[in-house]
Structure 1
Amino acid sequence: MEQIWLIEVLKGIGRFFLHPIFYYALLLALVSGAARVKRERNDFHIRIYKGSLELRSLFPAGLICGLILSALSVAAGVEVSWPVLAAVAAATILFSLVGQFRFLSPAFTLGIPVLLFFVFTWLPVQLPDWMSGTTDAMVAGLSILAGLLLLAEGVLLRTSGTKHVSPKLRKSRRGLNVGAFVAKKLWLVPVVCFLPAGPLSVTASWWPVVNWGGHTFSLVLVPFLIGFQHQIQSTLPQSALKRIGTWVIWAGIMTTAIGAAGLYFPYFPAVAAVFAIVARAWISIRHRMRENNAPYYFTQQNNGMIVLGIIPGSKAEKMGLSIGEVISKCNGEPVRNTDEFYRALQKSPAYCKLEVIDTNGEMRFAQGALYEGEHHELGILTVENNINWDPDQAG
């Protein structure tokens, strides 16, 4: 029996690499990375992050979340069928094409299929052939899984979502240059689920979602693609993403609780799906309204140069400069733009001492040695409105 379980586990992992979403996620990450690099070069004449950033961010955090969710899924006995997997995959691909990453939340990619299956299983309509074999327990389990994945989205937003956020330049309502950030991430989260029919059998009856009895089953490792996309311009990106992540976590907890009630009340899986869709849409709309009504954070300053971005591996990163800080003086000279900044650097070509106002409004010093020609490669991106300003000279 142990050998059969081992073989089925290996087959379940193999099914992960046969799933089209796995390869679609790789393609989507590569295309997204190329588009980001193109935008960064248009704005700053330089690539800030490598084009492989999205591809490298696809797996590590998602794998950890998938391991935890798999334990919960197995404990709950979440059962899926090939029609369920096909519906979720189709929704994922469709939403990624229609709304880019904005609709790749589990609230939409799983919530919509839950509603679809609920309509066909509960309303007096003819069930399509491709949906045959889909049970009420599967719909309830899928609603619970939607809540758990929504919870994972919130956790990922608060952790890895705050890293490597790409800056951009845009025009304000008055036509001035202002800075903003494009928070856009993808995670591939593999979750272990049960497939009806197979060589495995159990005698335990404690699984809340599925009571197998004398039935048999097999295992499948399902790749779920989670994505989000928000523009941030009124505050530091880390603060905004942690706030959004907290809201999404609460939405996930509530969705999971409502979906679990669907094990006992037949209409609750649909209620859970509707709640997830409305809650996630409301979170996005509320964020957009907040951004539109608040003043711009990254604008040209009177007391110095605000740091919009730091090139990875640059001298600025080694000096400990951070996004949102304001460089008020360079080598003892007040600076408000890159021209003044470079003139101040020339006073001491071998050494750079900066007076910096951090995001808490407190003064600190950042300093470091320079080598010949290195002052042109400090790696600081700023916001300016000089007529002849060249973004390529942004520190």
Structure 2
Amino acid sequence: MDQVWITEILKGIGKFFLDPIFYYSIILAVIAGMVRVKRERNDFHIRVLNPLQELSFLFPAGLLIGLLLSIITIASGFTISYSMIAILAIITIVLSLIGNFRLLSPAFTIGLSFILLFLAKQFNWNLPIVSEYPSEKSLSGFIVLLGLLLIIEGIQMNRNGTKRFSPILRNSRRGLTVGANQVKRIWLIPVFCFLPAGPLTAPFEWWPTFDFGTGSYSLILVPFIIGFQQQIQSTLPQLAVKRVGKQVLLLGFLVSAIAAAGMWLPILSIGAIFVALVGRGWISYQHRVRENSTTYYFTPQKNGLMVLAVIPHTPAEKLGLEIGEIIHKCNGYVVHDKDEFYKALQKNRAYCKLEIFNTDGEVRFVQGALFEGDHHELGILTVEAKKNWDGNEAS
């Protein structure tokens, strides 16, 4: 028995690399990095973040969570069919083409997949990619999985969505140059599920919760894509992402509770889908309304230079400068624009002393040595970078 399970686990992992979503997620992440770098160079004449940053977030963050979720799906006996996997892959690709990362929430990918499968089964549609209709229990389990993945989306936004923002320069309604930050994340969550037909049978009488136990099954490792995309201009980006992340997390718990009850009362599964789709759409809509109706946060300041972004691996990062802080003095000189800042830096090319207003408006002092080859302006970007362009790469 143990040997059979080990064999099926290895086969399930092998099937993972046959899924087109695995390769599509890599391509999607690489293209997103290329597009971002092109925009950064257009705005600041410099590449701010590594072009493979999106790819670096794709796997590591999702592997452990996928393992934990796999324990739940295996323990519950959740089954998935090739038709469900095919529909989910198509919906995921279509949504990514329509809305980039914005529509890659499981509320939309799994939610719309469920609706299509449910309608196809109810009206007996002859879809080429649907070789068999999933059972009601499998569809109900699909919604439970949606709720759990929504919880994971909220957790990932709070843990990994608050790092490495990409700065943007744009024109305000009054024609002024203002700053914003964009965050784009895509995670691949590999989850073990049971697939009808195979050598595995239920080892316990109390197993299954779903379909397992009524037949024989094999294991398959299914890649689920979770993504989100936000542009933030009204506040510090980490605060906005955490706020939305908490809302998604609460929605995930609510959908999971309703979906779990739907295992015994199927009509609640439909209710869970409605809550997931409307709730996630409302969260995104509220964020957009808030951003468009609030005054811009990253604007030219009278008392210094506001940090829009910190380039990784530069003196600014080593000094601990953060997004949203205002540099008031450099080497004892008050600075109002990037030209004054650059001149003040030249007063002492080996050492730098800064007087800064942090995001709470409190004064703090930072200082550190500068070395040959360091970024000539510490590695900070401000809204003046495009407004008063003078040939420097960053300010």
Where 2:312 maps in the other structure, the secondary structure is coil
- Asked if residue 87 in structure 1 is aligned to residue 91 in structure 2, the reply is no
In 2, the alpha carbon distance for the partners of 1:243 and 1:205 equals: 44
Deviation at 1:352, TM superposition (A): 1.1
CA shift digits 1:89-147 (9 cap, x unpaired): 001000000111111000000001111222233x3545646252411011001001111
- Asked if residue 202 in structure 1 is aligned to residue 182 in structure 2, the reply is no
- Asked if residue 2 in structure 1 is aligned to residue 39 in structure 2, the reply is no
The residue aligned with 1:260 is 260
Taking a change above 3 Å as real, the CA distance of residues 390 and 67 of structure 1, as seen in their structure-2 partners, is farther
Query: Which sections of structure 2, spanning at least 5 residues, go unmatched?
Result: none
Deviation at 1:222, TM superposition (A): 0.3
For the 8 Å contact 1:314–1:377, the answer to whether it is kept is no
Large movers: runs of 4+ above 6 Å = none
In 2, the alpha carbon distance for the partners of 1:374 and 1:26 equals: 33
In 1, the alpha carbon distance for the partners of 2:248 and 2:135 equals: 28
Deviation at 1:270, TM superposition (A): 1.8
In 2, the alpha carbon distance for the partners of 1:337 and 1:386 equals: 12
AA aligned to 1:173 is R
Deviation at 1:372, TM superposition (A): 4.8
The residue aligned with 1:294 is 294
For the 8 Å contact 1:300–1:385, the answer to whether it is kept is no
Taking a change above 3 Å as real, the CA distance of residues 128 and 318 of structure 1, as seen in their structure-2 partners, is closer
In 1, the alpha carbon distance for the partners of 2:288 and 2:18 equals: 38
Taking a change above 3 Å as real, the CA distance of residues 187 and 386 of structure 1, as seen in their structure-2 partners, is closer
The residue aligned with 1:345 is 345
In 2, the alpha carbon distance for the partners of 1:224 and 1:184 equals: 17
Where 1:392 maps in the other structure, the secondary structure is coil
Taking a change above 3 Å as real, the CA distance of residues 372 and 196 of structure 1, as seen in their structure-2 partners, is closer
For the 8 Å contact 2:177–2:387, the answer to whether it is kept is no
For the 8 Å contact 2:169–2:179, the answer to whether it is kept is yes
Normalised by the length of structure 2, the TM-score is 0.96
Taking a change above 3 Å as real, the CA distance of residues 126 and 356 of structure 1, as seen in their structure-2 partners, is closer
Deviation at 1:389, TM superposition (A): 2.8
- Between the two proteins, the alignment pairs up a number of residues equal to 394
Judge which range, 380-389 or 23-32, deviates more.
380-389
- Asked if residue 248 in structure 1 is aligned to residue 248 in structure 2, the reply is yes
Alignment of 1:171-190 (within 5 A): 171-190=171-190
- Asked if residue 111 in structure 1 is aligned to residue 106 in structure 2, the reply is no
Deviation at 1:214, TM superposition (A): 4.8
Deviation at 1:229, TM superposition (A): 0.7
Deviation at 1:73, TM superposition (A): 1.3
Query: Root-mean-square deviation (CA), in Å?
Result: 1.7
Taking a change above 3 Å as real, the CA distance of residues 224 and 211 of structure 1, as seen in their structure-2 partners, is closer
The residue aligned with 2:317 is 317
CA shift digits 1:78-97 (9 cap, x unpaired): 11000000010001000000
CA shift digits 1:42-86 (9 cap, x unpaired): 011110111111111101111121112111212222110000000
Residue identity (%): 54
Taking a change above 3 Å as real, the CA distance of residues 369 and 212 of structure 1, as seen in their structure-2 partners, is closer
AA aligned to 1:322 is E
AA aligned to 2:150 is L
For the 8 Å contact 2:169–2:386, the answer to whether it is kept is no
For the 8 Å contact 2:186–2:227, the answer to whether it is kept is yes
AA aligned to 2:158 is R
Query: Which sections of structure 1, spanning at least 5 residues, go unmatched?
Result: none
- Asked if residue 335 in structure 1 is aligned to residue 335 in structure 2, the reply is yes
In 1, the alpha carbon distance for the partners of 2:35 and 2:355 equals: 36
Where 1:110 maps in the other structure, the secondary structure is helix
Deviation at 1:176, TM superposition (A): 0.8
CA shift digits 1:304-340 (9 cap, x unpaired): 0000011100011111111110000011111010111
Judge which range, 316-325 or 379-388, deviates more.
379-388
In 2, the alpha carbon distance for the partners of 1:96 and 1:211 equals: 31
Taking a change above 3 Å as real, the CA distance of residues 390 and 66 of structure 1, as seen in their structure-2 partners, is farther
The residue aligned with 1:284 is 284
In 2, the alpha carbon distance for the partners of 1:23 and 1:2 equals: 31
The residue aligned with 1:157 is 157
CA shift digits 1:162-210 (9 cap, x unpaired): 1111111111111111110111110000011111110111142434532
For the 8 Å contact 1:349–1:375, the answer to whether it is kept is no
AA aligned to 2:363 is M
In 2, the alpha carbon distance for the partners of 1:100 and 1:182 equals: 13
Alignment of 1:212-227 (within 5 A): 212-227=212-227
Where 1:29 maps in the other structure, the secondary structure is helix
- Asked if residue 66 in structure 1 is aligned to residue 39 in structure 2, the reply is no
Taking a change above 3 Å as real, the CA distance of residues 370 and 128 of structure 1, as seen in their structure-2 partners, is closer
- Asked if residue 238 in structure 1 is aligned to residue 243 in structure 2, the reply is no
Normalised by the length of structure 1, the TM-score is 0.96
The residue aligned with 1:380 is 380
Taking a change above 3 Å as real, the CA distance of residues 133 and 59 of structure 1, as seen in their structure-2 partners, is same
For the 8 Å contact 2:138–2:211, the answer to whether it is kept is no
In 2, the alpha carbon distance for the partners of 1:207 and 1:179 equals: 55
Where 2:328 maps in the other structure, the secondary structure is strand
AA aligned to 1:79 is T
For the 8 Å contact 1:190–1:221, the answer to whether it is kept is yes
Deviation at 1:385, TM superposition (A): 8.0
